[in-house]
Amino acid sequence: MTAALPLTIQKGLALRRRLAAGDKLLGAWSTLGSTHVAALMAHAGYDFLLVDLEHGQGGIDTVAAQVQAVLALPTAIVVRCPDHSAATLKRVLDAGANAVLLPMVDTVEQARAIAAACRYAPQGVRGVAIGAIPASDYGYRAESYFEHANAATTVVVQIETPAAVQAVAAIADVDGIDGFFIGPNDLSAAMGLYRRYEDGQFVQALDRIETAAKAAGRILGALPYPQRGWQQLFEAGHQLVPATSDQMLLRQGSLALLAEHRRPA
């Protein structure tokens, strides 16, 4: 890595190189907003942590704190935003996210606005505050951050509705959208097939998303579900797979220990 580059840029570029090389990245959701839990999981060696601001705890401040807590580790920080607004994207990227995940992207127009909001001019419309943000090492490497930020940022959109499935090929053609992420719960619910993952219509929708992504050279990611665990998703060509979460690990570990304790002798 080059010492002159901000650490967030170094990690963002490393993430993009790995994705371009076809690496299969195993991650974990960070839903509790805890810097200590994020650091504990990053030290375990996950390829990325997916900080969830859509359904998880915390906000922009906790994103920045988690970024700083794992900055010296190779684990990338992906942030799922609560919305598509330019204001939210600007603050998440300023906090130091290496990649952003946007929920409920249904149209080409939404995708274009997202791509523009994530990049500085002339490629986009992201606001410039490089002298003050955590992402630029708090301004110590401001100009270097500005120079490399567009190339170091990965933008992934979630396909979660029938409208999005219909528009997926056109969304895949939007410059600045790097990939798709499939949320099987939301997609199946929106199709009136909640968790009926073996239904032919749901299977066809997944195939349409994956085909469009591969045809356009976009990366794929998904949440594992009973019919497709993280291993099967990797085999199907997915590269960003969060296989567990901080809450899940705590819950499963707690239940396993208590079950062992309460098992009759």
Active site residues: 55
CA dihedral 37, 39, 44, 47 (to 10 degrees): 110
Instruction: Please give the Cα distance from 26 to 24 (Å, whole number).
Output: 7
Can you spell out the DSSP letters for 13-71? HHHHHHHHTT--EEEEEE-S--HHHHHHHHHHT-SEEEEESSSSS--HHHHHHHHHHTT
Radius of gyration, CA atoms only, the chain: 19
| Largest Cα–Cα separation, the chain | 70
Residues 6+ apart with CB under 8 A from 238: 24, 220, 221, 222
Instruction: Please give the Cα distance from 238 to 43 (Å, whole number).
Output: 24
| 216 three-state secondary structure | helix
